[in-house]
Structure 1
Amino acid sequence: MTKKAVVLGAYGFIGAACVRALQQEGFSVCGVGRSLSTAQKILPDLVWIIRDIATATVCDWQDIFSEADIVVNASGALQDGTRDNLTAIHETAVVAMCEALEGTRTKFIQISAAGVSDQAPTEFFRSKARGDARVMSSRLDWVVLRPVLVFGAQAYGGTALLRAAAAFPLVGPKIYPDAQVQTIHVDDLAKAVVQVAQGELGGCFVAELAEEGRQSFPDLTAKLRAWLGYPAWSTQVAIPGWMLTLSGRCADALGWLGWRSPLRTNALLSLESGITGDPEIWKSLGGVSLRALGESLAQMPATVQERSFARLYLMLPLAIGCLSLFWLLSGVFGLISFSAAKAVLTGQGMSGGFAGSAVLGGSMADLLLGVAVLFRRWTKTACLGMIAVSAGYLAAGTLLTPHLWADPLGVFVKVLPSMVLALLVTLVLEDR
């Protein structure tokens, strides 16, 4: 009889790998996520239940889990923001799930993280620890898996940032030289989930999943750079702590604009403390073998796609910042030079009222686009708006002041690169 599995966070980096591994072993899988468009893009053939995990009730979970033999909780968030609430996702939701499963024989697999504890330096680990504690105190058939740094062929979040750091040109950034890091390939984590789901290892245990060896963060970055095919840096520059702290604070602020930057304070504090685990319990139970970093990298050779992504990853925030600054300044200068801009239009035969309205409207549109592009949910729309408005400016300018195409300062010509930059941002904006 085919066993049925429900995977929460099924279109995430870890969740999607678990879905595929369970399907390969013959499980009937249903995914739970909060975005239908993302779900259908990542796993279009999967049966989906669209719910906001953070707000789902016990009754919701009872309906979702009604026929499940296995529940895999691969949902999670790094830090509080407009799109995420750590307590709601890591604790409140887990409490509701456990209540919904009380009295059933469903196996509950909680994917947590190595290093969780009530005294951990970040709320990510503390909230994960509270959720784990609720699972462990239940009467369910439960297992808690705590992986270390998870990476795979897909670049996402912290692993994407690692690739970008490894591909940094000319000079290597050196941060947290004493931090020790262990890794696990996402496919090995998915195999571990399948092994637990098949009941081979029993239940009611906590196991950390990690490779045998460990390396410093600079060594990890150097290995990834060699994997990408770049020569070793001739020079590395230590990044001072205050700069990392400032970067974290800036990334935290961007979190409230909808961006999930891997540079947020929680991630940096976790890295500073080291990302390590003890795989002895997993080994003693007979768990699947977990590959070392070098072996994993050798089995997924880097191509031009990986190198291109690594270089582009750090350029995206720079491109968005440049677009925002360009349009904000354009709007501000239009208002400051209102009279001069109006005079250009009236000089072409427009009425004063129409010319003033055109200058004011254009400046306000510029300011709106410059602000909107900073909000994650509006970035793509704002970029498309920038392209449309720029095209409108050029069309109107060509009709009214065609001589400006030959202006030595490139008044019209300089608009074209900004349109291309906005188009580029729309094409590389996806994070899954």
Structure 2
Amino acid sequence: MEKQNPKTAIVLGAYGLIGSACLSALKQEGYRVIGVGRSRSAGLRCDPKIGWLERDISKVPVDTWKDDLKGADIVVNASGALQSGAKDSLSGIHETAVARLVSALEGTATLLIQISAAGVSDSATTEFFRSKMRGDRMIMQSNLAWIILRPTLVLSIQAYGGTALLRASAAFPMIGVSVFPDAPFQTVFVEDVAQAVVQAANGEIPTGTVADLTEEETWSFQTVNKMVRGWLGFKPWMFTLSVPAPLLRLTGLCADALGWLGWRPPLRSTALKVLADGIKGDTKIWANAGGLKCRSLVETLDAIPATTQERWFARLYLLLPIAIATLSVFWIISGLVGLAENQKAQVLLTDRGLSPVFATLSVFGGSIVDIMLGLAVLVRPWARKACYGMVVVSIAYFAAGTLLTPDIWGDPLGPFVKVLPGIMLASFVASILEDR
């Protein structure tokens, strides 16, 4: 049962991995909660019973923040980005937005709780940590009431980012992969992060506290991987292979390129650098501030049910990029072949009584549509619509072909029959293209 609390808490990045957990915990504590995020529809899927503000946090001006945050007792900044891309700007989210938040809250009694990251520093190897540090410093140098919380590798019931990567890595069939064997890792359960936010909001943590949130134990990535595999209920790998450094770098470059197409793959170059450096925190400051102890990796896994859908997700997460690439290659090649063999394709239609003009338009138009759909599915904002387009176009080809050239059903290579798996693959991809 929710408590009664007259205070208002506004959560930025509220449908993200950490933000949604903070939202739920504050709501259970009885706060009047308002979520802020880039997509109102994504927010309503997260929690349709609270108020939502649709804002691109990196672009909100100070005056708008002043209006939005008026009357707020608590502001939780759980927004963040791992790497700049088509959707995200590190400086915009970690610095510009923070500077404007600080300006908007100057002169108020509002408590600002900043969710940062363990390991931030000016000399960090990634711009993610450096930009986070610059944002943290703006808050620390302000006159606001503030608390900064820095979690290590966050694990959650939700599968996104690092939690999705761990599940997928643990689901590799038969053969395990070994990366960064000497890098140390510490984890924290997202519910413990949310509880820390509740403690801070309730005044149980002194303002001006900067504390890591982490378990006490330290692990290797390979150990974490094996533990997650066991938690998923999969048998141990038959053997493990080390991934060569050049292959990891190539993976990072490919993932970076996808980032500029709107995707957020978990193995971008920033993530690989973070993994190579390791992720560690210090429990002392949080404990001395009165914070509750964070659960260990073992306790976290015990608290999360490993159900059938977990195993489905882990396997499908590995298959999704392969399925998208298959669709793209299939449709692009189909279009290119149509253009290259346009004379044969036109003869096929004119021999069945269709006019030369109609045959020409059909062949060239169909080929261009095929290529456009094959390219569009690679761009994240267009991917689902491209899949639906593939289904519609395939059905149209199927129907028109059956009506105009029914004899092709007797072709020993079965070109019409092969349309059906293409429809199913596009439908499959469209149905699981969900980030949040």
**2:259 is equivalent to residue 263 of structure 1:** no
Deviations 1:224-248 (A, max 9, x none): 0000001111200000011010000
Partner residue in 2 for 1:119:
123
**2:432 is equivalent to residue 428 of structure 1:** yes
Q: Aligned partners of 1:64, 1:416: CA distance in 2, in Å?
A: 50
**2:405 is equivalent to residue 404 of structure 1:** no
Q: Report the alpha carbon displacement of residue 97 of structure 1 after superposing the two structures with TM.
A: 0.5
Partner residue in 1 for 2:211:
207
Partner residue in 2 for 1:179:
183
Q: 1:11 aligns with which of 2, 11, 15?
A: 15
Q: Kindly provide the amino acid, as one letter, of the partner of residue 263 in structure 2.
A: W
Q: Aligned partners of 2:61, 2:387: CA distance in 1, in Å?
A: 38
Q: Report the alpha carbon displacement of residue 408 of structure 1 after superposing the two structures with TM.
A: 1.4
Name the SS for the 1:314 alignment partner.
Answer: helix
1:199-278 superposed matches below 5 A: 199-278=203-282
Percent identity reads 56
Kept in 1, the 8 Å contact 2:209–2:289? The answer is no
Q: 2:350 aligns with which of 340, 346, 349?
A: 346
1:120-199 superposed matches below 5 A: 120-199=124-203
Gaps of 5+ in 1: none
Q: Aligned partners of 1:49, 1:394: CA distance in 2, in Å?
A: 45
Q: Report the alpha carbon displacement of residue 256 of structure 1 after superposing the two structures with TM.
A: 0.7
Q: Report the alpha carbon displacement of residue 417 of structure 1 after superposing the two structures with TM.
A: 0.4
Deviations 1:26-72 (A, max 9, x none): 11111111111111111111111111110111111111111001110
Partner residue in 2 for 1:310:
314
Q: Aligned partners of 1:201, 1:253: CA distance in 2, in Å?
A: 42
Q: Aligned partners of 1:45, 1:376: CA distance in 2, in Å?
A: 29
Q: Kindly provide the amino acid, as one letter, of the partner of residue 169 in structure 2.
A: A
Q: Aligned partners of 1:409, 1:33: CA distance in 2, in Å?
A: 51
Partner residue in 2 for 1:331:
335
Partner residue in 1 for 2:295:
291
1:368-379 superposed matches below 5 A: 368-379=372-383
Q: Aligned partners of 1:234, 1:7: CA distance in 2, in Å?
A: 45
Gaps of 5+ in 2: none
Q: Aligned partners of 2:32, 2:362: CA distance in 1, in Å?
A: 60
Q: Aligned partners of 1:316, 1:168: CA distance in 2, in Å?
A: 14
Partner residue in 2 for 1:80:
84
Q: Report the alpha carbon displacement of residue 91 of structure 1 after superposing the two structures with TM.
A: 0.3
Q: Aligned partners of 1:26, 1:411: CA distance in 2, in Å?
A: 61
Deviations 1:346-380 (A, max 9, x none): 00001111111110000000011011111101001
Q: Report the alpha carbon displacement of residue 413 of structure 1 after superposing the two structures with TM.
A: 0.7
Deviations 1:105-156 (A, max 9, x none): 1111000000111111111111100000000011111111000000111111
Q: Aligned partners of 1:300, 1:50: CA distance in 2, in Å?
A: 31
The RMSD of aligned alpha carbons is 0.8
Q: 1:416 aligns with which of 416, 420, 424?
A: 420
Q: Kindly provide the amino acid, as one letter, of the partner of residue 395 in structure 2.
A: A
Q: Report the alpha carbon displacement of residue 285 of structure 1 after superposing the two structures with TM.
A: 1.4
Q: Report the alpha carbon displacement of residue 406 of structure 1 after superposing the two structures with TM.
A: 2.6
Name the SS for the 1:98 alignment partner.
Answer: helix
Q: Aligned partners of 1:240, 1:314: CA distance in 2, in Å?
A: 20
**2:22 is equivalent to residue 55 of structure 1:** no
Deviations 1:174-233 (A, max 9, x none): 111111111000001000000011001211010001001010000000000000001111
Q: Which deviates more, 400-409 or 340-349?
A: 400-409
Q: Aligned partners of 1:245, 1:227: CA distance in 2, in Å?
A: 29
Q: Aligned partners of 1:406, 1:227: CA distance in 2, in Å?
A: 51
Q: 2:395 aligns with which of 375, 385, 391?
A: 391
Partner residue in 2 for 1:100:
104
Kept in 1, the 8 Å contact 2:78–2:114? The answer is yes
Partner residue in 1 for 2:73:
69
Q: Report the alpha carbon displacement of residue 403 of structure 1 after superposing the two structures with TM.
A: 2.1
TM-score, structure 2 length as denominator? 0.98
Q: Kindly provide the amino acid, as one letter, of the partner of residue 226 in structure 1.
A: G
**2:22 is equivalent to residue 21 of structure 1:** no
Q: 1:365 aligns with which of 369, 378, 397?
A: 369
Kept in 1, the 8 Å contact 2:36–2:54? The answer is yes
